[in-house]
Chain A
Amino acid sequence: MRAFEYSSPRTTEDAIRMLSAEGAVALAGGTDLLSLMKDGAAAPSRLVNLKAIPDLTGAHETDGGLHIGATTRLGPLGEHRVIRESFPAVAQAIAGVRSRQVLSMRTVGGDLLQRPRCWYFRAGFGLVPMHDGASMAKTGDNRYHAVFGNAGDAVFVNPSSLAPPLIALGASATVLGPDGERSVAVEDLYRTPASSDESEFTLGAAEIVTAVTIPMRSSSNATYEIRNRKGFDWPLAAASVAVSDGGARVVLGHAAPTPWMSAAAAGALAGGISEASAEAAADAAVADAAALSGNGYKIQLARVAVKRAALAAM
């Protein structure tokens, strides 16, 4: 493992300054970053620990909604009163993590910004691995890969547990960097890279997510995940649904290189959730899905996840 510096600033200003160095990477819970480093898939020259910054942790209600600091751990967040009462979609996604160890370490920001689990990526072939000029995953074993947004060479899936429910609930992320603070919709944190040289995130150099805010809008919301194992296991499909007076949102996880918003499915639920509209939303959600050579089953699973998330929200 490459030797690295470690710093643990007490303020976000210091953190941003320390992150401005070449090769510096933010460290939150470490549940992803440390394994990447051990596998040789990441080799930062400096780790900047964000967990010692008091401002970054904890959740509280504000005028704008439920403000959740980026280093708030998933376990405690799942127990938060507002999450349990108003945002079951988030609580259910957290419950789906299954591992106590991960729940006690993984942070909200870390969950949103974890790297894909694509086995080609983890084996060192890059995020958009190529083989003889073709996408390695497309021509290889892609049983866990994307069924949406996979027209290009990037076919990994976004692994975040929290992104689907947060996007469904219309949450925004506060991003802080050398040029100051900005607020972006959570879905805008993500992009599909064209090559392994590009990032799957839209954050600029030395930018960090400091918080997410879920607007206090009354909605029927739920998350549904389908996994092979009942315990700690990555979902094969996940969907979050939120329906309010203002409209509906349907977001799929583990389905595309980014959290995948389905406007068509949302449209089917806009008039309210019923058995019929849940089925219609499920059909609509997968209408434009495209199977790779070995993952056609994921389309059905995505469909079922949308339907069951909608019914759970009803």
Chain B
Amino acid sequence: MQRIWAMIVKEMWAVLRDPKARLVLVAPPLIQLFIFAYATTLDVKHVDIGLLDRSSGAHSSELVSRIAGSPYFRHIVPFENFGQLRKAIDLQKVHAALVIDEDFDARLARGEPATLGLVLDGRRSNASQIVNGYVSRIAGEMGLELLPPRMQAAAGGSTVTNWFNPTLSYFWFTLPSLVALITSVSGLAVTSQSVARERELGTFDQLMVSPLRVHEILIGKMVPPLIIGMLNGSIYLIVAPVFFGVPFTGSVLLFFPALFMYMLTVIGIGMFISALSQTQQQAFLGMFLAAVPLIILSGYATPIDNMPGWLQIVTYADPARYFIVIVQGLFLKAMPASVVFSQLWPLFVIACITLSAAAWLFRARME
């Protein structure tokens, strides 16, 4: 016990002794949180849209002014002919262009259905789909109002309610995931350096000739990244509601065990990389090699359901996949304990695997 304690104290000093290093452990994750939170915006706002209005009547002006009045659109760029429109789309001056035919007003005036043309930039498929949605909704609302009141009622329609994120704020979606991603990157970074640094600086042999057992060394090396991860996680737990207004609706008593288990899986991966590396540089590159798939396959950026079948199977090995479900659930929908546990046991299995693999590799590469 005393040896483990000595090892933990030594590792804590190794990480915390330098005031600059202390700052590096807490400041960048926080800065990352703010930058990533604002940078990974999924909203499409400030859209510039082109307009080729061949009708120029009251109804077409009404439509254009409704679009102009929408918060999603910034500029409306008028075109005189199709050639200008083509050029503007080509040069990405506008995201999309609305084409209003000459008989638009006339048909509406006669009470007939009229059609609109919308040219979208397929190179920006995601944004285009969203712009399409905005324009369709505006046009649909306008069309509905033009109907006689009796028919308006008959036309039906749908009322949308967004559960768990009523205003569809992307902060509510991205912040809980960022908590998972940033704690894992900092956990990986600290752990992956720990053994590699001793190897590179020549202290590894000195450690190996001491009576410290392998498990004592490993536990000693795991505690500091665990504490740092838990600390960063707690800071986010405060920052997300206070600065970004994302509610934490679940139980803190579930959040911390989940974070603890997740940190164990990540530390296992980091320790494996560190045991494999001869130098700190190798460890650093190895950390990137692990961090990128960890993030991409977690379902944070793209839904796992959209991935090909074989890749979906691979994602079951990604601990971030489970932890993101837990944090999003705990933040936004007061996830109950039973559901948390259904995600927690795979984390437990992965933690056992990564930690044993790290211990095995550490032993195998002692010589």
State yes or no: do A and B come from one complex. Answer: no
Interface residues in chain B, defined as those with a beta carbon under 8 Å from any beta carbon in chain A: none
